[in-house]
Amino acid sequence: MKNTLESPDRKTILINHELRKTVLDELHARPFLPVSTPRRIYHYAFTTTHDEAIRDRINLEEFAREKHILHPSINAKFHYFTLNDWRLRWEQHTEFTTYTWSTGLSAEIPFKHDDPIRTGEIYFQPPGKLITATQIAVIDQTQTIDKLANFFHSQSLCVIDVNKGNAEIMGDFYAGNDAYTKFILRIRDATPLEAGRLVQRILEIETYRTMALLALPLARDVSPQLRQMEKELTDITHSLSAAQSSLTSQDLLKRLSDLLVSSEAVATRTAFRFGASRAYHALVNNRLDLLEETKTNQYPTLSNFLSTRLNPAIETCNAIEKRQHRLSTDVERATNLMRTGITLEMERQNSKLLDDMNRRTRLQMRLNAMVQGISVAALAYYLTGLFSYIAQGLKDTKLLPQSMSAETASALGLPIAVIISWAFMARVRYLSRRAAEEENIE
């Protein structure tokens, strides 16, 4: 039977998303490398800006050409070099770049060798400022825990079983005179790949916990500024109830506006660092969970040690961030209250001004009515005078009766003059009201 889904004239064409390869490669961007026993490992992490990361990639390409080895691709975030007896693992992250050197030469005794950079065993161009320097000694189980404990500070030494008891990790997170923090990975039955995974976890914990703590000095630096701004806000808030004049209110509003700008400046300065600190702290906790550590002997675990040292520092940063947010909110609320008070005061003044204008308008209307009354009398007076001239003319031309004098005729015209004057002023008032109505003036 013929397959009805077959179509010789048509083919299905799949178009990959432009980021599909990037997303898939990200899961394999930083693979674990097998670590054999014994081995000494030197790990360096440098804070790098965008420009420094670009220069570092250029320097790494020149380094690879000098050694006649393959350099990393243009978008690579991880590369692995083999240089005679040494291996170099290079990683580039958002904020930092790491160089991890390792060798099996004379690695049986932990921390026997001096700093390989100072002695010239290794050389590279640092891409930025050093933030982490760590040594890890990977050894077998022939040396006892008690003997190995002499390499560390007893008060901060942590010892844990990992990988279901196939290995042990020792470390005190203390930077010695050579500025390195030191760890020992004591292998029992762990395979080289498992040992490499454990080494990578240790290095990530040390690097991420250092990066997480970068926010603590910043938190301590801005804390006095926040305290001063909180005091300023308290003073302004207490002054709000005592403000008696618009000038005082305007001054308080200006102080509030300046305080809001200052608080936002501090929040902007710390926002990224505090957010990054939380992210690094979460990564530290994640890597600790992946270790599946088990307490051994009387020594504390890595989680217990970091929970009493690292967690309070992170909580300090979180508390400062919450104070910043609360301060900004309180300043905005006080500003809104001040603006509301100023608006109400302006409305009160405007209402008073309108009342004064209405009173003046009523007085003007009364004055106009009085003037209009006087105007009627004045107009009637002038009309009466005009009538007297007319009556005198009529008298001289004998048009008036013989018995009626010019004065009598003028007196008889007085009511007519008053009526004409009143009608004229009434007409004027009517036309004025009509013009006001057309202009929507009450």
Give domain limits for the chain. Answer: 28-205, 215-351, 365-438
- pLDDT for the residue numbered 29: 66
Give the span between the Cα atoms of 233 and 266, in whole angstroms: 15
275-280 contacts, C-beta under 8 A, 24 or more apart:
276/95, 276/211, 276/214, 276/215, 277/211, 277/212, 277/213, 277/214, 277/215, 277/314, 277/317, 278/314, 278/317, 278/318, 280/208, 280/209, 280/211, 280/212
Q: Tens digit of pLDDT for each residue in 403-432?
A: 677 677 767 777 887 788 778 777 777 777
* Residue located via tokens 């670009």: 54
Alpha carbon of 297 to those of 110, 145, 264, 392: distances in Å?
A: 21, 10, 50, 142
Tens-level pLDDT at each residue, the chain (442 residues):
555 556 566 788 888 888 887 777 776 667 788 999 999 999 999 999 999 999 999 999 999 998 888 888 887 888 989 988 999 999 999 999 999 999 999 899 999 988 999 999 999 999 999 999 999 999 999 988 989 999 999 889 999 999 888 999 999 999 988 899 999 999 999 999 999 999 999 999 999 999 999 999 999 999 999 999 999 888 888 877 665 556 677 788 888 888 888 888 999 999 999 999 999 999 999 999 999 999 888 899 999 999 998 999 999 999 999 999 999 888 888 888 777 777 777 788 788 888 888 888 788 777 777 776 677 777 777 777 777 777 777 767 777 676 677 677 767 777 887 788 778 777 777 777 777 777 654 4
From 332, 334, 324, select the one nearest 236 (Cα to Cα).
334
What is the pTM for the complete model shown? 0.75
Residue 168's SS3 state is strand
- The conformation of residue 128, written as its DSSP 8-state character, comes to S
Q: What is the spatial distance between Cα 188 and Cα 168, in angstroms, rounded to a whole number?
A: 8
Q: Supply φ then ψ for residue 332, to 5 degrees.
A: -60, -40
Look at residues 431, 275, 260 and name the one whose alpha carbon lies nearest to residue 334: 260
Pick from 146, 148, 135: which is nearest to 109 by CA? 148
Distance CA 80, CA 30 (A): 10
Number of Cβ within 10 Å of residue 429's Cβ equals 13
Cα–Cα separations (whole angstroms), residue 215 to 219, 327, 384: 6, 19, 100
Beta bridge partners of 158: 171
Q: What is the DSSP string of 401-414?
A: -TT--HHHHHHHHH
Q: What are phi and psi of 187, to 5 degrees?
A: -90, 130
- DSSP annotation of 165 reads T
Q: Classify 1 as helix, strand or coil.
A: coil
State the amino acid at position 225 in one-letter form: Q
Please enumerate in sequence order all residues whose Cβ is within 8 A of that of 52, keeping only pairs 6 or more positions apart, or say none.
97, 127, 128
Q: Which tokens sit at 120?
A: 């010239």
